[in-house]
């Protein structure tokens, strides 16, 4: 079995567990505004080791942030998909015939029950909801076309840039 080790001050080496403990402490101190030289002195490591560990931590933090961003984006897209399905179901129901039931007779004797059906054209508010879902999904995915706004002699082009996302 081969254990990975990393050099420490005075030629000592850190095993993987020690490296993880050191990086955790380095990250904590760094985020509190400590200088690399001060961190090195407290942990009895070379400043160059602190620098390398910080580079590794920055890569980990960036990867984690991108993963978290992608996860959040996927969750929001799933919510929008669910909402759109519900809007479509409501739209379909709003297109069905509306039935009314009327009872005829006296309070003691019921002569007949009259059912009437009235066709409906559908409630456009549900289609507006579908449209909102589509627009929001396009915005999250960054597939909206650039917008152009003219202001006097100047044309402003608005481009949505999602290059910071991992997808």
pLDDT in tens, 119-143: 888 999 999 999 999 999 999 998 8
CA nearest neighbour of 85 among 74, 77, 96, 75 = 77
pLDDT over threshold 80, residue 107: no
Q: How confident is the model at residue 167 (pLDDT cuts 50, 70, 90)?
A: very low
* Most trustworthy range by pLDDT among 23-27, 118-122, 143-147: 23-27
3 to 6, 17, 50, 93, 138: CA distances (angstroms)? 10, 10, 21, 65, 48
What mean pLDDT value characterizes the chain? 84
The pLDDT, as a whole number, for residue 160 is 56
How far is it, in rounded angstroms, from Cα 123 to Cα 110?
35
SS (H, E, C) the chain: CCCCEEECHHHCEEEHHHHHHHHHHHHHHHHCCCCHHHHHHHHCCCHHHHHHHHHHHHHHHHHHHHHHHHHHHHHHHHHHHHHHHHHHHHHHHHHCCEEEEEEEECCCCEEEEEEEEECCCCCHHHHHHHHHHHHHHHHHHCCCCCEEEEECCEEEEECCCCCCCCC
Handedness of CA 89, 75, 140, 143 (dihedral sign): negative
User: Residue 73's CB: how many other CB atoms inside 10 A?
Assistant: 17
pLDDT of residue 157: 66
């Amino acid at each position: 079995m081969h254990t990975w080790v990393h050099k420490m001050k005075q030629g000592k080496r850190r095993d993987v567990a020690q490296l993880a403990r050191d990086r955790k402490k380095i990250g904590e101190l760094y985020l509190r505004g400590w200088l690399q030289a001060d961190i090195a002195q407290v942990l009895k490591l070379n400043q160059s080791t602190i620098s390398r560990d910080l580079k590794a931590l920055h890569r980990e933090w960036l990867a984690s942030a991108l993963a978290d961003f992608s996860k959040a984006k996927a969750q929001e897209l799933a919510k929008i998909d669910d909402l759109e399905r519900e809007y479509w179901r409501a739209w379909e129901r709003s297109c069905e015939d509306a039935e009314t039931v009327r009872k005829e007779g006296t309070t003691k004797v019921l002569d007949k029950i009259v059912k009437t059906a009235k066709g409906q054209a559908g409630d456009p508010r549900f289609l507006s909801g579908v449209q909102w879902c589509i627009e929001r999904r396009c915005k999250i995915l960054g597939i909206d076309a650039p917008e152009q706004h003219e202001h006097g002699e100047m044309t402003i082009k608005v481009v949505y840039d999602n290059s910071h996302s991992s997808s």
